Amino acid sequence: MSGKVYLVGAGPGAADLLTLRAARLLSAADVVLHDALVQEDVLALAPQARKIAVGKRCGKHSTAQRFINKMLVAAAHTNQVVVRLKGGDPMLFGRAQEEIDALSAAHIEFEVVPGITAALAAGADLKVSLTQRGLARSVSFLTPRHGAEEQEAEWLRAALAADTAVFYMGAGQLEQIAQALLTGGKPAHTPVAIVENASLPHARQWQTTLANLARFNVDAWAGPAVIVLGEVVATAQAEEWAKLQHIS
């Protein structure tokens, strides 16, 4: 008789942006397997649970993921309530499908609890709606691919076609992203905002244009960041704009 596994979105960072359901499950959890990015005060919502950091940040993904899958199945065999806590939303850039497949193959009951994804936290922080009547009827969330050019075309097409594009895990590739978008025909004056550590007290925001994006000093990064590209960014109120750091 196995326990049940909950794939739970931990949200963008702020502990009070967890859902009520996530908080209830954490308080009832026997064990919590969490990503490296999950904040301490989020984990504090599971005072009685054993906590295991399984997160990976950069590199060695495949091996690590297989190991996580095995740990999840093993945890369900010896615990009633297993929470797999993932940054943001489990179903967006969270590699949930691999864990779902492993749990299904092992006939373990599971449930997915959605979370606030970083793009929506960034929109809230910027006070800019990602869709806007007459300006943006579509928004793409995407992650750029390292490597060969024909692979680049996959994300590029989606980024060019959407009215608003939000890049996840792109902070290390600003120059490549900017160059690909410019070559693809995106206007150099397209407004861009970068939000680092969205929703957290130490969040930082920058605004620039696509033309200047490549010049940004990536050594400055101190946490996960999303890049928001599109005309909606320019609709930020002047007082909000004034708070942002300019890149030029």
Binding site for its own copies (CB under 8 A): 9, 11-12, 14-21, 23-24, 89-98, 100-101, 104, 110-117, 120-121, 123-125, 127-133, 137-143, 145, 154-155, 157-163, 199, 232, 235, 237, 239
Smallest separation, CB 132 to its own copies (Å): 5
**Catalytic one among 41, 56, 125, 219?**
56
Smallest separation, CB 100 to its own copies (Å): 6
Smallest separation, CB 226 to its own copies (Å): 13
Dihedral pair phi/psi, residue 168, rounded to 5°: -100, 145
What are 52's two structure tokens?
A: 């295991």
Question: Phi-psi bin for 88: left (phi > 0), alpha (psi -120 to 50), beta?
Answer: left
Residue nearer to its own copies on the CB measure, 13 or 32? 13
> Which residue in the block uniquely carries the two structure tokens 């490296």?
36
How far apart CA 154 and CA 131 sit, in angstroms, is 23
CB 240 within 8 A of CB 204: no
Q: For the sheet with 110-113, list strands across it.
A: 50-53, 31-34, 81-86, 4-9, 110-113
Q: Which whole-number Å values give the CA distances from 5 to 29, 80, 81, 96, 109, in the listed order? A: 10, 8, 6, 12, 6
Smallest separation, CB 116 to its own copies (Å): 5
Residue nearer to its own copies on the CB measure, 48 or 237? 237
Smallest separation, CB 207 to its own copies (Å): 17
How far apart CA 63 and CA 126 sit, in angstroms, is 37
**Catalytic one among 35, 89, 125, 186?**
35
Residue nearer to its own copies on the CB measure, 212 or 231? 231
Residue nearer to its own copies on the CB measure, 37 or 212? 37
**Would you call 16 a catalytic residue per the annotation?**
no
The count of other CB atoms within 10 Å of the CB of residue 239 is: 8
The count of other CB atoms within 10 Å of the CB of residue 14 is: 18
Residue nearer to its own copies on the CB measure, 18 or 31? 18
Dihedral pair phi/psi, residue 173, rounded to 5°: -130, 35
**Would you call 127 a catalytic residue per the annotation?**
no
- Residues marked as catalytic: 35, 56
